[in-house]
A and B are shown apart, each in its own frame.
Chain A
Amino acid sequence: MSTQEHTAAAHVHRDDIGSRMGMWLFLFTELVLFGGLFFMYSVYRYLHHQDFYIAARSMNVFIGTTNTIILLTSSLTIALSIVAMQNGKKILSLILQGTTVIFGLVFLVNKYFEWMAEIHHGNFPGSPELLSQPPGHILFFGLYYVMTGLHGLHVIIGMVIIMFMMRFTMKDVITPDQTVKLEAAGLYWHLVDIIWIFLFPLFYLIT
């Protein structure tokens, strides 16, 4: 009995490849979720392309580009945090993880100002100004709020996950030999980045 217990304690079950594959399978469900929205966007754009061009004129390209740079850089910092951890640099890894969370926050603050400006111009679902516009215009802003909103929700979730990873790093649950949790968090964050890579040209650069 005691020998069995001893062997059980010595052999902690660990399957890093399985963990990463599980994460990828989850990411495919995210692909379906956003894929459906991208399909809807492409059909409505196909049917109302002239309205889409006009509606996209009110998009703030400067904030859109800034947010793209911020999100790409945050992808770099989370990728580097994994390398730092694998190299045994715990503090550097923590700083890079924290930087990623801060970038996420800056992204959301920019998004807040962007949305507030649009709402101020009367471009929000159900507003009298928007309802007086042609249908393609209304659809564009409907899709804009749903897709960037759902993406923003993913940014918030990603930030919470990375904050958990920071705690795991501090508690030595994530160690140089055991980085799979941090890698999975990184995969999620990169997926959020990829979704933005497509949202950016489709909403900001179609004028």
Chain B
Amino acid sequence: MEKQIAQHIEKPGHSYGKYIVVWLALLTLTAITAVVAGVNLGEVTIVVALIIASVKSYLVLTVFMHLNVESKPFKIFVMVALFFLIVSIVLLFSDFSNM
């Protein structure tokens, strides 16, 4: 019995609850981003939309794609990949804004 309990504790993430909570959060953020797009915020609109999209991606990456329970190398890998993506876009725009 004790062993069973120990095994149960050892294996977290076998419950459906947190996925449903994240899904509800994703739907809420989708609703917010659709409503905000209707409000005329000028230049800020795109920034707000991209921030919301980033938050949604973060939720998908950490919970749905299990990055929160993966070991450190996985997290470092993803951060390095995203870092190079950001470096590329910064260099790209530093080039364009000088044209």
Contact = CB atoms under 8 A, between A and B. Distances in A.
Contact of A20 (B23, B33, B63, B70): B70
Contacts of A47: 96
B57 A205 contact: no
Interface string A70-104: 00110110011001001100000000000000000
A206 interface: yes
Interface in A152-198: 183, 186-187, 190-191, 193-194, 197-198
B31 to A, nearest CB: 8
Most buried by B among A20, A76, A86: A76
**Interface class of chain A by DSSP:** helix
A69 B89 contact: no
Contacts of A42: 89, 92-93
Given A61-B34, A206-B46, A197 B19 contact: no
Most buried by B among A20, A187, A190, A205: A205
A8 interface: no
B20 A76 contact: yes
**Interface class of chain B by DSSP:** helix
A149 B46 CA distance: 23
Contact of A79 (B27, B64, B73, B85): B64
Contacts of B66: 183
Contact of A201 (B53, B70, B77): B53
Chain B interface size range: 35 or more
Interface in A32-51: 35, 39, 42-43, 46-47
A129 B57 CA distance: 37
A187 B71 contact: no
A79 B57 contact: no
A205 B46 CA distance: 9
A191 B57 CA distance: 9
Contact of B85 (A20, A35, A76): A35
A133 interface: no
B14 A72 contact: no
Contact of B16 (A21, A43, A69, A83): A83
A14 B30 CA distance: 39
Given A35-B85, A43-B92, A75 B60 contact: yes
